[in-house]
Structure 1
Amino acid sequence: MAKPLYHAPADCPVCGDQLITTRKGCLHCGTEIAGEFASCEFCSLGEADLTLLKVFLGSRGNLREVEKHLQVSYPTARARLDAVLAKLGLDPADPGTTAGPAHAGTADADGTEEQSEYGDAVDDDLTPEQQILARVARGELSPDVAAQLLAD
């Protein structure tokens, strides 16, 4: 049985600076090379983050499929993806990236945007029924759940 391989830490446990790889070896023949090798930008991600990315890429960017695979809500799947993007240095809220929300928020009196518990802007001008329908349109609620909420 093969010896398990462990995920190398990305940061130095002493000073916190980024680690580099200085030795690589072949498990088959035992060949070793030494030097200073750059690590990839994904090397600092943990197993859960890498699994999320694999599912996301395998579903061709469909967060609904990620939601089903991870058995979490859509907002949770989106929040986890946003967290991975942030770890990779990609700001999900930056308009220059495709991961951010496509709608603008409402500004409070002090100029800051008010947000819902999902990180989306809240529109106080909408009735509760319109807010439910807007959440369906954004993919936060399924039509069945929305129908139940509207019936109540």
Structure 2
Amino acid sequence: MYKAPVICPVCNKKMHIEVLRCLNCHSKLEGNFELNEFATLSNENIEFLRLYLLNRGNLSKVSELLKLSYPTVLNKFNKLLSDLGYDVNDISKNTEKTVIEKKKIIDDLEKGLIDPKEAINKLKTLKGEKL
């Protein structure tokens, strides 16, 4: 069986599926079916995603297995996210903002501006946990 083409060779736009057929009973369903974002990934991205998932999201382990530097693997991961339609810059900004906020909470705790219980509550709020 062949992998379905996801990009039109004529206009380079995303294609859709119109017919689904059961290999067992040969039933056929016709309509206009959208491909999910994973169906549009390149083989290279799919293999990277499989390796990433098998290693439970540990990019250091993926780096070790691929014998590539961590920054190279991180770039591959960011390309995967971008190809899936996620804005890598927004993700990086949110992560950076969270790190800065955590540092401020810890600094406030060290200076005695907040007590340990308040620091824990603020960290849980950052993490998205309900108090």
**Pairing 1:68–2:60 present:** no
Give the TM-score normalised by structure 2: 0.63
Higher relative contact order (CA 8 A, sep 6+): 2
Share of identical aligned residues, percent? 32
Query: 1:49 maps to which residue?
Result: 45
Which whole-Å CA distance do the structure 1 matches of 2:39 and 2:47 have between them?
A: 13
1:34 aligned residue: 30
Tell me which amino acid in the other structure corresponds to 2:47.
Answer: T
CA separation in 1, counterparts of 2:77 and 2:95?
9
Alpha-carbon deviations, 1:14-54, whole Å to 9, x = none? Answer: 11222110011122232222111111111110122011112
Give the counterpart letter for 1:70 in structure 2.
L
Matched, 1:77 2:73: yes
- Match of 2:81, SS state, is helix
| Runs of 4+ that moved beyond 3 A | 95-100
2:16 corresponds to: 20
Deviation for aligned residue 1:64: 1.0
Query: More helix per residue: 1 or 2?
Result: 2
What residue in structure 1 maps to residue 114 of structure 2? none
Structure 1 residue runs without a partner (length 5+): 105-152
User: Structure 2 residue aligned with 1:10, among 6, 9, 12?
Assistant: 6
Q: May I ask how many residue pairs the two structures share in their alignment? A: 100
CA-atom RMSD in angstroms:
2.7
Structure 1 contact 20–37 (Cα < 8 Å) conserved: yes
Any stretches of 5+ residues in structure 2 without a counterpart? 101-131
Task: State the distance in 1 between where 2:78 and 2:34 align.
Answer: 25
